[in-house]
Amino acid sequence: MGWVKGSIVSYFSDKTSLNAVMGIIRRAIKSYGVKPGEIRDIIGLKILNPGLNVPRKTREEKARPLLEFTEKLEKGEKSG
């Protein structure tokens, strides 16, 4: 899951696009059995991480679409 964590941090730092991170998250869930809740936990921890050189407000704003995306994936997983 290190590659998922790294891609989220990279996205928060504007080094990776939202679409790329969403693809990585989708692949982690569909191909590697990672649960959407685990992804949300990672996102939450990265928001709170004081070691990142990205303002917390920016991390919170950038996390919003990722959290919404994982919620949609989880709903699709439960219905399908």
Residue 19 CB burial class (10 angstroms; 0-12, 13-18, ≥19): exposed
Number of structural domains found in the chain: 1
Mean pLDDT of 9-19: 97
Residue 78 pLDDT class (50, 70, 90 cuts): low
**8 A C-beta contact, residue 16 and residue 7:** yes
Summarised one tens digit per residue, pLDDT across range 20-38 is: 999 999 999 999 999 999 9
Full domain range(s) for residue 50 = 2-79
